[in-house]
Structure 1
Amino acid sequence: MAFSAIFYTSSPSLTLHCKTHRPIFSHAAYFSKSLIVKASSTLDYSKVSVDEKALAPTKTNNWQWKFKDNTINIYYEEHEKYNNDSSKNILMVPTISDVSTVEEWRSVARDIVQRVGKFNWRATIVDWPGLGYSDRPKLEYNADVMEKFLVDFINAPDGPINGLENDLVVFGGGHAATLTIRAAKQGFLKPQAIAAIAPTWAGPLPIVFGRDSSMETRYGLLRGTLRAPAVGWMMYNMLVSNEKAIESQYKSHVYANPENVTPDIIETRYALTKRKGARYAPAAFLTGLLDPVQSREEFLDLFAAMEGKIPVAVLSTEGSPKRSKAEMEALRGAKGVSKFIEIPGALLPQEEYPIKVAEELYRFLQENFDSRA
């Protein structure tokens, strides 16, 4: 999530004038070269949506993630058409941002699970710790913490995915996609396929201002201020937790079409910023602590590590901010990317254009799993 603001703290060395952008998967298939697809259709996807009556999850629950001395309630939803043990499973992981939420994936989940094909698909959507409807303790959030959570959620014997971790497809937006691939490269996860939707790796400030020592010092000061008891809430309320700021962000770069930003979206996202502990994870994201890698070269290396192991689809968006779009474009034809698709949208296409995203993701599933039936 981005914002326009001037940050001032008691330290004169921290003055950031910025307009930042949120930059806010053995059953392997083998590919000798990438397939690049330019998605097109006569449908106006800004006018199409999944039946709202079908959005309610089949099941909602909380899983207790034990991390160090903390027990953190993690919110997740399950969407399925039939209660069928033979269903294949998808984990959908929200884009990391200050208003990250399972809601961004609901329409896509309901579309895919209602489709009739060779497989019945079941979808689980999970909120990150510190974000969405999960607990938001005052942790030292960083990329390693988020990766460990994702690995634990999938692999834990008492977790919702228990027994399915080797028969799982993962769809992730933004940083979530890159964290998933990082975990897969290290062997912590072994999904059957991965789809990266508008993938990113740099937080809002680092992608604009870089990561030299001077800027890292300023990021640290800003992060410390946002986490402080009183002034932290005041700054967070000024920069993030107000409806005008959220609306401006959505209209400028989160959505491609400002007309798709409804009052209901702004109201629900604003409510998320008022949850207890809401500022801690966003403070880490904003200042780059949740970045899975530190450079484009490392970003490309993650995807290259998937070559010959699992199919990876990248859904790049036509209306992403310039810097984020450049990182997505670097994956076009890149090693390890088995399919590159350009779709409408900006940084949150799964929420703005769910039917189009569901259509492309379902086609990806068919291409890689129907032939194995």
Structure 2
Amino acid sequence: METTRTLDLVVAGRPVPTPCDEVGAGPEALLLPALSTISSRAEMRDLAGALGDDHRCLVPDWPGFGDRPRGRLPLSPATLHAFLDALLAAAPGPYALGIAAGHAAGYLVAAARRHPGTFARLVLVAPTWRGPLPTAMGPERQGLFTAIRRAVEAPLLGDALYGLNIRPSVIGRMMRAHVYADPGRVTEAVIAGKHAVTCQPGARFGTAAFVTGGLDPVGTRDAFLDLFGPSLPPIRVLRPEHAPGRSGAEMDALVGSGRVAGVSVPGALSPHEEYPEAVAAAIRAAV
């Protein structure tokens, strides 16, 4: 059974009504979708359904993201940390399981450190910490990234620049390149759903922040690894077999640090969406 409720949160001094899907029954689980141009809580729906026999899953949208109109917030790591604090105050659990995909990983781990005892265990699905432009071009181009973000956020010019990059053909090409492992799964229906997410009012602000590295929870690999320590609950990383090289190298470094357990799953950067049953099986195997 799936229902949707809205949590009336306050973040950075502003009201942030947050829709949350609730799926299944049993011990509570919090599922955090990735941060990306095409991300929304809907990407977690099939995984929540696959886990619903064992857990009552709560799946929120991040502020600035999702398949609904988005209010303007000062999008930054501090805002997203504050969002999770507000979410956990409104829905405190405790959670038998916390799951985070992509860029949500660092934020979930930091929240688990700030809220000891809230999560019995964590699962990070294809965890990332560095946005697309810093990953592709290197951190030394930060001035360029800032300029790009300001341009996309600007009236008129920003709408035009954003519109060029959310055409269905562009979304399909991006998904086939690194989001899904099997190009055949990137159907016209999937692309249409993702395009609808990108067309929500205010969507360009979350995209501009994420793509330029403005929502990176840390600035270096060492800082990312330092998020993981002995005070945390057990953590398992699900490493997709076909993750892009640079992102996969960061996942391998995390698993190689010995601070988490790692397991291989099919897929690329969105295995929870492309192969939800396999990801659910990997999560259950960790019990």
CA distance in 2: counterparts of 1:324 and 1:316, whole angstroms: 10
In structure 2, what is the Cα distance between the partners aligned to 1:309 and 1:233? 42
Q: Who is 1:224 aligned against?
A: 150
Conserved? CA contact 2:47–2:276, under 8 Å = yes
- CA contact 1:65–1:74 (8 Å) conserved in 2: yes
Asked if the contact 2:31–2:100 (Cα under 8 Å) also holds between the matched residues in 1, the reply is: yes
SS in 2 for 1:249: helix
Paired position in structure 2 for 1:58: 2
Q: Deviations over 1:75-113 (max 9, x none)?
A: 1100014xxxxx311000001101111121111111111
The answer to whether 1:122 aligns with 2:56 is yes
Partner of residue 263, structure 2: 341
Q: How do 1:126-165 residues align onto structure 2 when only pairs under 5 Å count?
A: 126-133=60-67, 135-155=69-89, 159=90, 161-162=91-92, 164=93
RMSD, matched Cα? 1.6
User: Cα offset for 1:293?
Assistant: 0.8
Task: State the distance in 2 between where 1:310 and 1:216 align.
Answer: 34
Aligned residues: 287
Q: 1:190 aligns with which of 93, 118, 121?
A: 118
- Could you tell me whether the CA contact under 8 Å between 2:68 and 2:197 is conserved in 1? no
The one-letter code of the counterpart of 2:281 is: E
Q: Residue 179 in 1 paired to residue 122 in 2? A: no
The structural deviation recorded for 1:67 is 2.1
What SS is found at the alignment partner of 1:332? helix
Counterparts of 1:110 and 1:67, CA distance in 2: 29
The C-alpha deviation readout for 1:102-160, integer Å capped at 9, x for no partner, is 1211111111112xxxxx411111110111135522222111111211121112xxx2x
- For each residue in 1:58-80, what CA deviation from the matched residue of structure 2 results, as whole angstroms up to 9, or x when unmatched? 21122222123421221110001
Which deviations, in whole Å up to 9, do the C-alpha atoms of 1:219-266 show, x marking residues without a partner? Answer: 111111100110101000001x21001000111110011011111111
% identity of equivalent residues:
32
Q: Secondary structure at the match of 2:139?
A: coil
Question: What is aligned with 1:211?
Answer: 139
SS at match of 1:110: helix
Could you tell me whether the CA contact under 8 Å between 1:93 and 1:126 is conserved in 2?
A: yes
1:111 is matched by which residue type in structure 2?
Answer: A
5+ unaligned residues in a row in structure 2: which ranges?
Answer: none
For residues 262 and 289 of structure 1, do their structure 2 counterparts lie closer, same or farther at Cα, with a shift above 3 Å needed?
A: same
Residue of structure 1 equivalent to 2:188? 263
- Choose the corresponding residue for 2:161, options 235, 238, 255: 235
> What is the 5 A alignment of 1:100-111?
100-111=39-50
* Length-normalised TM-score, structure 2: 0.95
Q: For residue 308 of structure 1, report the CA deviation from its aligned partner.
A: 5.8
Counterparts of 1:186 and 1:210, CA distance in 2: 30
1:199 aligns with 2:127: yes
Contact 2:210 2:216 in 1 (8 A): yes
Residues 11-63 of structure 1: per-residue CA shift (max 9 Å, x gap)? xxxxxxxxxxxxxxxxxxxxxxxxxxxxxxxxxxxxxxxxxxxxxx5211222
Partner of 1:41 in structure 2? none
* Cross-structure match for 2:35: 96
Q: Structure 1 residue 189: deviation in Å? A: 7.4
2:278 to 356, 361, 365: 356
Equivalent residue, structure 2, for 1:316: 239
- 1:223 & 1:79 partners in 2: Cα distance? 36
Unaligned runs of 5+ in 1: 1-56, 82-86, 115-119, 368-373
Q: In structure 2, what is the Cα distance between the partners aligned to 1:351 and 1:260?
A: 11
For the 8 Å contact 1:203–1:290, the answer to whether it is kept is yes
Match of 2:98 among 162, 165, 170: 170
Which amino acid is 2:221 matched to? R
Aligned with 1:90: secondary structure?
A: strand
Amino acid corresponding to residue 120 of structure 2 in structure 1: Q
User: Alignment partner of 1:92: what SS?
Assistant: strand
Q: When you count helix as a share of all residues, which structure comes out higher? A: 2
TM superposition shift of 1:309: 3.8
CA distance in 2 between counterparts of 1:125 and 1:65 reads: 15
Query: 1:321 offset after TM fit, Å?
Result: 0.8
Note the alpha carbon deviations across 1:318-348, whole angstroms, 9 max, x for none: 11111000001112242321x2101111000
Matched AA of 1:267: A
Q: For 1:171-205, what per-residue CA distance to the aligned partner results, in whole angstroms no more than 9, with x for missing partners?
A: 00011111111222344773111100000000001
Partner residue of 1:19? Answer: none
Local SS of the residue matching 1:205: helix
For the 8 Å contact 1:129–1:135, the answer to whether it is kept is no
Please name the residue that 1:297 is paired with: 222
In 2, Cα distance between the equivalents of 1:302 and 1:277? 31
Q: Please give the alpha-carbon distance, in whole angstroms, between the structure 1 residues aligned to 2:214 and 2:285.
A: 35
